[in-house]
Each structure stands twice: as C-alpha cells, then as structure tokens.
Amino acid sequence: MKGIITVLGKDRVGIIAKVCTYLADQNVNILDISQTIVQGFFNMMMIVDVSGSNKSFETLVEDLQDVGHSIGVEIKLQNEEIFNIMHRI
C-alpha cells in the first residue's frame, strides 16, 4: 500500500532527519521525495510504501502527527488512492 506524506511548517534544522528516522524505524520505504523552502517555510511531499510496517495505517497517521507536533510542523499521511481521488480535477 502506498501513502502520500506532506510536511508543512516553518523551516528549521532536522525536519527531514526526524521524519525519515521515524519512517525507517517503522520499515516504511520512501519511494519518492520532493522538498522546497519558500520564504522560510518548509514544504515536503513523499510517496511511501507502508506495506512493510507492522503498524496499522491509522497508527502511522497518528504517530506522524505526533512527530510533527514535536518539531513544530504539520505532517499528514493519506492513502494514495484517496489522495488521487480528492485531487482529481
């Protein structure tokens, strides 16, 4: 199962490291990643494969929100299929 992770917040040291460390610890594979910083705001989008994780998708969603709160950014994980349907024009 693939997921879309978005990270948004004021730029600071360690955002990518914290998110990627959590994902690696949960055996979530990063398939693609893009990040930009615009006028001091950090924006990252990742496509991930969550099928190797022992945690449920819902638990990963909650954990990533907690990781985000701990570093002052907003992190969302969405199912790729739902993400595609929501953003269809």
Domain boundaries, the chain: 2-86
pTM of the entire predicted model: 0.89
The yes-or-no verdict on residue 6 having pLDDT over 60 is yes
Residues in the chain: 89
Cα separation of 84 and 43, whole Å? 19
CA distances from 30 to 38, 64, 83, 88 (A): 23, 14, 17, 23
pLDDT digit string, tens, across residues 7-39: 999 999 999 999 999 999 999 999 999 999 999
Q: Do residues 51 and 3 touch, judged by C-beta distance below 8 A?
A: no
Provide the pLDDT for residue 88: 64
Provide the pLDDT for residue 89: 57
Percent of residues in the chain assigned helix, strand, coil, to nearest 5: 35, 40, 25
Residue predicted with more confidence, 45 or 88: 45
Provide the pLDDT for residue 80: 75
CA 16 to mean position of chain CA atoms = 10
Cα separation of 89 and 18, whole Å? 33
Q: Using the structure block, give the residue that is written with the tokens 């190797």.
A: 52
pLDDT digit string, tens, across residues 28-87: 999 999 999 999 999 999 999 999 999 999 999 999 999 999 999 999 999 977 765 666
Provide the pLDDT for residue 87: 63
Strand partners, 87: none
Q: What is the second-level CATH architecture of the domain 2-86?
A: 2-Layer Sandwich (3.30)
